[in-house]
Amino acid sequence: MIYTLTLNPSIDYIVHLDKFVSGLTNRTTSEEYYIGGKGINVSCILAELGMESTALGFTAGFVGEAIEKGLCDMGIHSDFIRLKEGISRINVKIKAENESEINGQGPHISEEDFACLLAKTDAIKEGDTIVLAGSIPKTVSEDAYEQILRRVEWRNIRIVVDATNKLLLNCLAYRPFLIKPNRQELSELFERDVSDERDIEFCARELLKKGARNVIVSLGGNGAILFAENGCIYRCGVVREKVLNTVGSGDSMVAGFIAGFEKTRDYEYALKLGAACGNATAFSPGLAKREKINEILGRL
């Protein structure tokens, strides 16, 4: 089983306007609603690829109920902890001449609530995969991911971490199966300008030394490079098409890689499927659907 963790899920309310004028009433030309959160995005793409997963995390209030129902309607199993107080986030994305975001804070997560989450991870068994994705809410301890990894580290499971800065670095000691920094995140991690492939390779190999087993470096319009645990380097390009949406593209790549490796144990194919999923989401108004993923896969 694949488990995905989203500590602070949301409903993303996307509004399209011809023009946004501050201080006045603005009327939308169209609206969209999506269930948001990096781990949830991974679960959604896995479902499109025919892979089962269980979404873990916290929900609260009527928004939390909508999140759980929405996942159920998509055929995605969830095992969220329902908080007694607060409301899960509603994030507003404004798309006019420019794009702006207003992200909510989310409910308070107590130590007792987090202990309940740790207990749920006891269901994860040998051969399973857990995906830790996104930032940590302010109400949760900064070492939340490390607490989870300490709890599961002796069970021979695959660990995927899609996080940034110290949050990522502190997880490397647990030998994650996959991490996926982009060029900018590498620059922040190593406090240096990562401008060419030599810099990218240096940084990726340092991350491998620190404990990562496989490192995908996403390069946006220039594709992606996988530095694999078998010592090989794999590259995959991109398909040229109008970009409609960048939210969830990286999560889609993670899901595609996991699914591709689960099915074939082939690193090169896993990278290709990951790239196809990431591209397909970028060319879709929301997360990619299976038909679009298959189309892009055939063009890579």
Mean pLDDT of all residues belonging to the chain:
93
Choose, from 113, 196, 251, 266, the residue flagged as catalytic: 251
Q: What is the mean pLDDT of residues 260-271?
A: 96
CA 215 to chain centre: 15
Decide if pLDDT at 273 tops 90.
yes
pLDDT at site 133: 93
Contact predicate 35/67, CB 8 Å:
yes
Report the share of the chain in percent with pLDDT over 90.
80
pLDDT at site 252: 96
Decide if pLDDT at 259 tops 90.
yes
Decide if pLDDT at 116 tops 90.
yes
- Per-residue pLDDT of 28-76, as tens digits, reads 999 999 998 999 999 999 999 999 999 999 999 999 999 999 999 999 9
Q: What is the mean pLDDT of residues 86-99?
A: 91
Report the share of the chain in percent with pLDDT over 70.
100
Decide if pLDDT at 98 tops 90.
no
pLDDT at site 236: 93
Decide if pLDDT at 110 tops 90.
yes
> Can you tell me the distance from the alpha carbon of 75 to that of 44, in angstroms, rounded to the nearest whole number?
9
Structure tokens at 2: 């694949």
Q: What is the mean pLDDT of residues 16-20?
A: 93
> CA torsion, points 54, 58, 59, 60, in degrees to nearest 10?
160
pTM above the 0.85 mark? Answer: yes
pLDDT at site 194: 83
Decide if pLDDT at 149 tops 90.
yes
Decide if pLDDT at 244 tops 90.
no
pLDDT at site 241: 87
pLDDT at site 220: 79
Phi and psi dihedrals of 99, rounded to 5? -105, 135
Least confident interval from 114-118, 136-140, 220-224: 220-224
Decide if pLDDT at 193 tops 90.
no
- Per-residue pLDDT of 215-241, as tens digits, reads 999 887 788 999 999 999 999 988 888
Please indicate whether residue 251 is annotated as part of the active site.
yes
Residue 196 pLDDT grade (very low, low, confident, very high; cuts 50, 70, 90) = confident
CA distances from 279 to 232, 248, 296 (A): 23, 10, 7
Q: What stretches of the chain show up as alpha helix (H) in DSSP?
A: 38-48, 61-73, 111-120, 144-152, 165-169, 183-190, 197-210, 249-264, 267-282, 290-299
> Can you tell me the distance from the alpha carbon of 46 to that of 9, in angstroms, rounded to the nearest whole number?
17
Q: What is the mean pLDDT of residues 84-102?
A: 91
- Per-residue pLDDT of 157-181, as tens digits, reads 999 999 988 899 999 999 999 999 9
pLDDT at site 177: 97
Decide if pLDDT at 243 tops 90.
no
β-bridge mates for residue 208, sequence order: none
